[in-house]
Amino acid sequence: MRKIDKIPKFKSEAEERIFWEQHDSSDFVDWKKAQTVAMPKLKLSTKTISIRLPEGLLNSIKIEANKRDMPYQSLIKVWLANEVRQQREP
């Protein structure tokens, strides 16, 4: 059986940040005892980006979004998420 290291007490958030930058968290977790947690009110953090698209492509995306009665930015997110998920599947 693998030995699980004990997480030290930290004096500050900065000290803890440095510690985790230098250590692998898997040495401190027994995944066999892990439990699933539901966080229904947790909002995914988002980051605003800027992307340049040809006008024709953007217009086509807006038309497709309009057909689905959704904002074009939301449709782009759905398409990107689906593509990433498919690419990551073995």
pLDDT average per 10 residues of sequence, the chain (90 residues): 85 95 89 88 90 97 97 97 91
pLDDT of 34 reads 87
Please give the helix or strand (H or E) that residue 65 lies within, else none: helix 55-67
Domains of the chain: 1-33 (no CATH), 40-90 (1.10.1220)
Hey, what are 12's tokens?
């500050």
| Count of C-beta atoms within a 10 Å radius of residue 4 | 13
Q: Which segments of 17-65 are extended strands (E)?
A: none
pLDDT score at 29: 87
Closest CA to 53 of 82, 79, 33: 79
pLDDT of residue 30: 86
Sequence-separated (6 or more) residues with CB below 8 Å from residue 2: 30
